[in-house]
Structure 1
Amino acid sequence: MKKSVAIVFGGQSSEHEVSLQSARNVINAIDRNNYDITLIGVDKQGHWLRFDEHDYLQNPTDPAHIKLSDSGRLLSLMPGASGPQFVEVQTGREVPRIDVVFPLIHGSFGEDGCLQGMLRLLDIAFVGPDVLGSAACMDKDVTKRLLRDAGISVAPFVVLHRGEAVDFVSISAQLGLPLFVKPACQGSSVGVSKVTDEAGYAAALKLAFDYDNKVLIEQGIVGREVECAVLGNHQPQVSVCGEVVANDDFYAYDTKYLNDGQARIAIPAQMPEDLSEAVREVALQAYRVLGCAGLSRVDFFVTEAREIIINEVNTIPGFTSISMYPKLWQASGLSYPELIDRLITLALERAEETRALKTEVVL
């Protein structure tokens, strides 16, 4: 029997448009012989809308102008329901019960544990890490502290909360130049700046605080940008390593999603075999330390001295046509449709394990 999969995309974060691109690729690749799909788009105001597949996006092939269609039908959620978990508000029509959600909302309210917590309340299986793993990986400050405590190398950093300040002379003396200033809880390089002077530092802090109430100031690391894709629950597997060679100062949002020619991706990364294996092992360690499940992409800096330094861990990595996560698995022998099938299977397995746990004390 076919499983019912809801693909949830859009959202209220700065990565809304990236999410729409990811969703389009997953929708086009999912095996219709095994899955019936329900399309749920979340607009920038936070409304949950049901869409028909023939009309859910405007400008679907233009990353700069892609957006949700106007045809969405407002949904209401029904926590605790034994039947359908969603109903269309205007028509009263029930959405057929959903077996598993494939969340593709990058960033806030989708990748940070909020959506995962809601799905737990609805008792719906979902692709990707649970609440804690999602939240821990979304907050770069928390990520770095957990990894550092586990003995995994991260770039030296300082955290500022809104209202706090540290002057440029002090911070540059502590961390050196260049610095990178970034919001603690954003992805896709949104709000990230490379800083080499005092004027740039002030502008970078202002930009980062536009996106978050907590900001990271990181030491600039000179090294290769290497990424690994991890897949699995209790026995996760790691893909081959890939390398991003950006023609810009760093791998910025425009480079990732708008200017296809601004970065070169090498898969597999051209590294000695022992170094590649060491990177993959650190990816696996980080995945476990941070409580990940289902999938994550682990991003590294690898220096000339063969230091392996984790930059960040993404629990809902991009699934666009140029995204690293699916490309890494394709290079590792897993096709795009096979990857989607594996992710859904992992989500269902984890949900069954969770449901089997006792919720009552037997005296």
Structure 2
Amino acid sequence: MEKIIILYGGTSGEHEISLRSAASVYNHLDTKKYAVSCIGIDIDGKWYFQDEIVFSADGESLLIKKEFPVAVYPSQGLFTGNMLIPADFIFPVLHGVSGEDGTVQGLLDMIHIPYAGSGILGSAAGMDKIVSKMLWQHQGLPTVPFTEIRSISDSRIKEASAEYGFPVFIKPARAGSSVGVKKAVNRNELMECIQHAFQFDTKLVIEPAITGREIECSVMGNREVESFPPGEIILEKGFYDYESKYLSGNNARTVVPASLSTDVKESVEDYAKKAFFTVGAQGFARVDFFIEESTGQILLNEIN
């Protein structure tokens, strides 16, 4: 029986989301086929082997018991005390910085245990909204316009608001789950949103608000990849923020497959595969798009 370790938790602002994701992965693994163990990373970055699986009271999250610290030895593996933790494969279920940005992937490469998802390059490039968008633009792929800013006094803030008008979105460049993302409808709100976003990263992205449909497309593979029928995010109000994704059960729903013409569907699937290859992704990913209402143009937004 193959031994799988679920690695979850982490130090980012998306720690709680990782606990929820880990519960979902655990519940969907076939324990008749795999021997499943878990290692939890607490918010301070300490790793703990879980001698038993403990769920939250609502059953939606895996909790982290802090009884058996884990040590990582390059070329040797994972240990708790003097005991080697057996592992044939690791499933990282980590969100955000120091989880899906290539750092943990590099560590796992050093202990020679295969793992799910992209390697160092694909994880780092995919996590960074600025790097991924620059790569896509370099390849001639249609991409949501963006402006990078590095400080509250960056001259590009004024240039971006003049070019895009309002509303605009402000995003931390290297955060996921819409953490730190805000929408600004005027100059004062823009500066407030920028200050807020700098709590989560040292570089930000300003993007124009695209009026249109939100489409997502899954991709799976390595040297050869397959894209799957796109889905559409339907919102009752606002935008697809952290609350809509994880806290509100009624504001957003996903329709799969999305109602798209054959030409548009095929274009989305083709762009998704190209976006996947361009950032060096591996294994699996979800690629997010907008279809602009006024022009029908398909625009790449992010990869997850």
TM exceeding 0.5? yes
TM-score, reference length from structure 2: 0.95
Distance in 2 (alpha carbons) for counterparts of 1:148 and 1:80: 38
Q: Which has the higher contact order (CA 8 A, sep 6+)?
A: 1
The question of whether the paired residues in 2 share the 8 Å contact of 1:7 and 1:103 is answered with yes
Query: Is 1:59 matched up with 2:57?
Result: yes
Query: Is 1:241 matched up with 2:230?
Result: yes
The question of whether the paired residues in 2 share the 8 Å contact of 1:226 and 1:299 is answered with yes
Aligned to 1:310: 300
Aligned to 2:21: 22
Q: Residues 169 and 161 (structure 1 numbering): CA distance in 2 closer, same or farther, change over 3 Å?
A: closer
The question of whether the paired residues in 1 share the 8 Å contact of 2:152 and 2:191 is answered with no
The question of whether the paired residues in 1 share the 8 Å contact of 2:149 and 2:156 is answered with no
Aligned to 1:119: 108
Per the TM alignment, residue 110 of structure 1 is displaced from its structure 2 partner at its CA by 0.9
Query: Is 1:165 matched up with 2:154?
Result: yes
Name the SS of the counterpart of 2:300 in structure 1: strand
Name the SS of the counterpart of 2:269 in structure 1: helix
Mean CA deviation greater in 245-254 or 211-220: 245-254
TM alignment of 1:64-213, pairs within 5 A: 68-81=63-76, 85-89=77-81, 92-96=82-86, 98-162=87-151, 164-166=153-155, 170-213=159-202
The question of whether the paired residues in 2 share the 8 Å contact of 1:248 and 1:255 is answered with no
Name the SS of the counterpart of 1:261 in structure 2: coil
Q: Residues 34 and 43 (structure 1 numbering): CA distance in 2 closer, same or farther, change over 3 Å?
A: same
Tell me the amino acid that sits aligned with residue 251 of structure 1. Y
Tell me the amino acid that sits aligned with residue 133 of structure 2. K
Distance in 2 (alpha carbons) for counterparts of 1:75 and 1:99: 17
Query: Is 1:255 matched up with 2:248?
Result: no
The question of whether the paired residues in 1 share the 8 Å contact of 2:48 and 2:64 is answered with no
Aligned to 1:358: none
Per the TM alignment, residue 60 of structure 1 is displaced from its structure 2 partner at its CA by 4.6
Distance in 2 (alpha carbons) for counterparts of 1:251 and 1:22: 18
Aligned to 2:4: 5
Name the SS of the counterpart of 1:143 in structure 2: helix
Distance in 2 (alpha carbons) for counterparts of 1:163 and 1:200: 13
Sequence identity, in percent? 37
TM alignment of 1:268-347, pairs within 5 A: 268-304=257-293, 305-314=295-304
Distance in 1 (alpha carbons) for counterparts of 2:64 and 2:100: 23
Distance in 1 (alpha carbons) for counterparts of 2:116 and 2:191: 39
Runs of 4+ in 1 over 4 A off after TM superposition: none
The question of whether the paired residues in 2 share the 8 Å contact of 1:43 and 1:68 is answered with no
Tell me the amino acid that sits aligned with residue 58 of structure 1. S
TM-score, reference length from structure 1: 0.80
Aligned to 2:45: 46
Per the TM alignment, residue 69 of structure 1 is displaced from its structure 2 partner at its CA by 3.7
Which protein is richer in strand relative to its size?
A: 2
Distance in 2 (alpha carbons) for counterparts of 1:21 and 1:257: 10
Query: Is 1:218 matched up with 2:216?
Result: no
Unpaired stretches in structure 2, ≥5 consecutive residues? none
Describe the superposition over 1:163-205 as per-residue Cα deviations: whole angstroms up to 9, x where unpaired.
6423765432112221110000000110001111122111100
The question of whether the paired residues in 2 share the 8 Å contact of 1:242 and 1:266 is answered with yes
Unpaired stretches in structure 1, ≥5 consecutive residues? 315-363
Describe the superposition over 1:211-249 as per-residue Cα deviations: whole angstroms up to 9, x where unpaired.
000011111111100000111111111111100012232
The question of whether the paired residues in 1 share the 8 Å contact of 2:50 and 2:65 is answered with no
Tell me the amino acid that sits aligned with residue 85 of structure 2. V
Per the TM alignment, residue 67 of structure 1 is displaced from its structure 2 partner at its CA by 6.5
Report how many aligned residue pairs link the two structures.
Answer: 303
Distance in 1 (alpha carbons) for counterparts of 2:153 and 2:193: 15
